[in-house]
Structure 1
Amino acid sequence: MGTPRRMLTVVGARPQIIKAAAISRAVQGRYADRIKETILHSGQHYDANMSRIFFEELGIPAPERNLRIAADSPSRTARMLEGIEQVIDAERPDLVLVYGDTDTTLATALAASKAGIPLAHVEAGLRSFDRTMPEEVNRIVCDHCSSWLFCPTDTAVQNLRREGFDPAAELPKVVLAGDVMFDNSLYFAALAERSTILKESGLQPDRFALATVHRAHNTDDPERLSAILGALLELHRSTGLTLAIPLHPRTRQRIERSVDEVLRREFESTKGIVLMPPVGYLDMIALQRSARLILTDSGGLQKEAFFFGKPCLVLRAGTEWTELVDHGYARLVDHDRDRMIAGAEYFLTHDMPPAKDLFGNGDAAGAICQALSS
């Protein structure tokens, strides 16, 4: 066996840390003689209370480097690009691996491309077809910088085909790998049974809805954010479901700064609305598995709702996970109160459609590592 390929994995947002767990697990367990992984954290979502707990909880090696570029400003991506370029120049990896669609993903793709280092993109080919969303632009640029494009679904492969990629070509290599988050949902489900989050929060299984709101498109527009909070209040009143809402620090800050005081106080004081600080991945799995309904603007939670057999209302006008809407597992409700209530009433009175094999066989990480080490 030859020298292991040196792979620089770059993460920045908490969902990327979770996705990285699947690949790191495969590298350590089955590919240690073929891949040597180094992890770089951009600092995009980094603080002692949040990112660190994800690394510890998921058993991922701590990042060897951290750029600590956390400020949310127009210059952040440029500063990430400069910092990642310096790390690539120092490490000279054989390949660079990125996940998803964040500013960290974009900066890394550009840095690797400029340095002439092959780039591997996990979650390639996703398209919401809404270029007003920064994430959509990030996905497209990253895909067109990549040497390996690891698609989670057949729809993603077809999206790349329409953009001129040839799935039969050797480079760039398009691989239908499956979804690493499906890997994780299978691996961590048993561990999540130890979670005490329901007891600590006073939640009863199947008697609550889980809601998360974190995307800038929703939180940075006071009108949209207020509409979502008002709709959540109405949903609680009309369905009788308790609402469990882990609040991202940025979302909490926006609520305090930009939401009308009367609405904010009503939202925060309503007995059936349980506001909680951000939770770890295992606690989030426990919440999802016990929820009756999930409302979110998170792409990851849309999929996990499907993995755990839960209906999902998407607080966006579009989604990159179009399969979930097409097959009836999720509904797009945006920030519209009437659509949200109607969607909730439908899912509470109808069974979920039979599950389909949309996201692979649960070993996407193995398929990715095999392709990268061949």
Structure 2
Amino acid sequence: MKIAIVLGTRPEIIKMAPIIDEIGKRGIDLVLLHTGQHYDKEMSDNFFKDLEIPAPDYNIHVGSGSHGKQTGLMMQGIEEVMIDEKPDIVLVQGDTNAVLAGALVASKLHIPVGHVEAGLRSFDMTMPEEINRMAADVCSLMYFVPTEESAINLLAENISHKKLFITGNTVVDACFRHLEIAKKRGIEEESLANLDIENMDNILTLTMHRAENVDDEHRLKGIIGALEELNDMNIIFPIHPRTKKTLENFGLFDKLNSLEHVHIIKPLGYLDFLLLTSMSTLILTDSGGLQEEAITLNVPALTLRYNTERPETVTAGGNILVGSDKEVILENARKILEDEEFANNMRNAKNPYGDGNSSILTLDAIEDYYNKGLLKIESPEDIMSSFNRKMALIDEDITVEDFEKENQSLIHMIYDNGVMKFPASELNLKGMMITYDCFQ
């Protein structure tokens, strides 16, 4: 078996590192392709080296550009590699343009696509990431979903449960793996080292880069107003260049930079940032990935958004959506700082993304598919004489697996007292309402 992995950004590399490790441990052939959409070859190679994973076999050096231009160039470069390498499966991770390009190219070449971190939905179609993740899911054969909630999103989009694998999220594997590397290496960025964070109390780590926040003066004023009043916290803000530029354009940067308890520093490397996150009392962010990392590292998170494709972190109790409302931000930050029981409940929230074995479960599923001859895309050979979609209330003791065998069917949705359930093969259906597709 040969597995190809398409990577485009640092978060993808971070989250796929444990899977790359597991592929190596199993002696499976690996083709690593990097689109180079964010940074130059030297920086990229150094990043792979820092994370102790192999350098890419291919780097197509797409660089930055419009969504259309960047995605088109990626597709051209990825197609050439896939035609030459002929992998058995192409893995993509997340919701970037590289994910969209890799999934489209592979599916059109009839190469199975495995989407790692599939099924996430913010239900916000203004986000390019939402378009990318939905399109990638349309193209995929195997879906490695972090939680049952993500799986249900895909069931609602008519994806067969037989293609869904609830693996947890590789972010957990990655956090544990990379924090050990970071601790071994120590802080390298001078601006962070100079803050002496190991002896600093009440660290609030702030990240803010999404257009809906940084391009909106009203929202920025609300957030900065809250930061101004949180003067008993040490706010560390590795600022994104685009965020700095918009703050300057709105005349807000100097105000923020003048606050003694706010430490604005240049963007940090991943390992330095991971150390900072692990030492924080509170995370204030509009990042998706950081919501996952915070709950994995037992750090309470307040998310500067009104929706999230990581709702499990909110349900679990480790994350609160606060938008850009000054009073809501202050109220929740104060509770974390002053109410020990409240803070501990957030710190001890059960991680919905698993225990750190996501990469093992992912490779187990791929090898099983491969060994059963399911890792292929072919035209159907059997003529379907009839197809019916039915609904039924089940009044007998019968599992999902047995019901599907007896009725030559595929269960689509299950409702247990109005609550949707994932159709795990061993689930007993008695007393539940189901919808199912019946094939003849």
TM-score under structure 1 length normalisation: 0.89
Residue equivalent to 1:209: 204
Residue equivalent to 2:89: 95
- In the alignment, the residues of structure 1 paired with residue 276 and residue 296 of structure 2 have an alpha-carbon distance, to the nearest angstrom, of 13
Residue equivalent to 1:174: 164
Structure 1 residues 309-320: aligned runs within 5 Å: 309-320=298-309
Letter aligned with residue 317 of structure 1 = Y
Query: Are the structure 2 counterparts of residues 48 and 315 from structure 1 closer, same or farther at C-alpha, using a change threshold of 3 Å?
Result: farther
SS in 2 for 1:144: helix
- In the alignment, the residues of structure 2 paired with residue 295 and residue 309 of structure 1 have an alpha-carbon distance, to the nearest angstrom, of 14
Check if 1:304 corresponds to 2:296. no
Shift of 1:236: 4.3
Asked if the contact 1:119/1:145 (under 8 Å) is kept, the reply is yes
- In the alignment, the residues of structure 2 paired with residue 127 and residue 105 of structure 1 have an alpha-carbon distance, to the nearest angstrom, of 15
Residue equivalent to 1:243: 235
Shift of 1:49: 7.2
Query: Are the structure 2 counterparts of residues 37 and 136 from structure 1 closer, same or farther at C-alpha, using a change threshold of 3 Å?
Result: same
Residue equivalent to 2:111: 117
Asked if the contact 2:4/2:32 (under 8 Å) is kept, the reply is yes
Q: Is the radius of gyration larger for structure 1 or structure 2?
A: 2
SS in 2 for 1:291: coil
Asked if the contact 2:316/2:351 (under 8 Å) is kept, the reply is no
Shift of 1:338: 2.3
240-249 vs 54-63, greater mean Cα deviation: 240-249
> How many percent of aligned residue pairs carry the same amino acid?
39
Check if 1:39 corresponds to 2:29. no
Residue equivalent to 2:8: 12
Letter aligned with residue 243 of structure 2 = T
Asked if the contact 1:50/1:278 (under 8 Å) is kept, the reply is no
Gaps of 5+ in 2: 369-440
Query: Are the structure 2 counterparts of residues 216 and 48 from structure 1 closer, same or farther at C-alpha, using a change threshold of 3 Å?
Result: farther
Asked if the contact 1:329/1:352 (under 8 Å) is kept, the reply is no
Check if 1:191 corresponds to 2:184. no
Asked if the contact 1:53/1:280 (under 8 Å) is kept, the reply is no
SS in 1 for 2:344: coil
Residue equivalent to 2:406: none
Asked if the contact 2:205/2:277 (under 8 Å) is kept, the reply is yes
Shift of 1:222: 4.4
Check if 1:23 corresponds to 2:19. yes
Asked if the contact 1:183/1:362 (under 8 Å) is kept, the reply is yes
Structure 1 residues 72-91: aligned runs within 5 Å: 72-74=65-67, 75-91=69-85
Asked if the contact 1:239/1:345 (under 8 Å) is kept, the reply is no
Asked if the contact 2:234/2:261 (under 8 Å) is kept, the reply is yes
Residue equivalent to 2:411: none
- The one of 143, 146, 151 aligned to 1:157: 151
Residues 175-202 of structure 1 show CA distances to partners (whole Å, capped at 9, x for unaligned) of 1111111112222333333423654333
Letter aligned with residue 179 of structure 1 = N
SS in 1 for 2:24: helix
Shift of 1:230: 5.6
Runs of 4+ in 1 over 4 A off after TM superposition: none
207-216 vs 5-14, greater mean Cα deviation: 207-216
- In the alignment, the residues of structure 2 paired with residue 292 and residue 240 of structure 1 have an alpha-carbon distance, to the nearest angstrom, of 12
Shift of 1:234: 3.2
- In the alignment, the residues of structure 1 paired with residue 202 and residue 280 of structure 2 have an alpha-carbon distance, to the nearest angstrom, of 7
- In the alignment, the residues of structure 2 paired with residue 47 and residue 56 of structure 1 have an alpha-carbon distance, to the nearest angstrom, of 14
- In the alignment, the residues of structure 2 paired with residue 269 and residue 104 of structure 1 have an alpha-carbon distance, to the nearest angstrom, of 39
Residues 232-258 of structure 1 show CA distances to partners (whole Å, capped at 9, x for unaligned) of 4532433421211122344334444xx
Letter aligned with residue 164 of structure 1 = N
- In the alignment, the residues of structure 1 paired with residue 311 and residue 142 of structure 2 have an alpha-carbon distance, to the nearest angstrom, of 23
Residues 304-334 of structure 1 show CA distances to partners (whole Å, capped at 9, x for unaligned) of 1111111111121111110111232111122
Shift of 1:212: 0.9
Q: Superposition RMSD on alpha carbons, in Å?
A: 2.1
- In the alignment, the residues of structure 1 paired with residue 234 and residue 204 of structure 2 have an alpha-carbon distance, to the nearest angstrom, of 6
Letter aligned with residue 9 of structure 1 = I
- In the alignment, the residues of structure 2 paired with residue 163 and residue 228 of structure 1 have an alpha-carbon distance, to the nearest angstrom, of 36
Q: Considering Cα pairs closer than 8 Å and 6+ residues apart, tell me whether 1 or 2 has the greater RCO.
A: 1
- The one of 331, 343, 354 aligned to 1:351: 343
Asked if the contact 1:205/1:291 (under 8 Å) is kept, the reply is no
Letter aligned with residue 64 of structure 1 = D
Query: Are the structure 2 counterparts of residues 292 and 43 from structure 1 closer, same or farther at C-alpha, using a change threshold of 3 Å?
Result: same
Query: Are the structure 2 counterparts of residues 254 and 44 from structure 1 closer, same or farther at C-alpha, using a change threshold of 3 Å?
Result: farther
Letter aligned with residue 308 of structure 2 = T
Query: Are the structure 2 counterparts of residues 53 and 218 from structure 1 closer, same or farther at C-alpha, using a change threshold of 3 Å?
Result: farther
Structure 1 residues 45-64: aligned runs within 5 Å: 45-47=38-40, 50-64=43-57
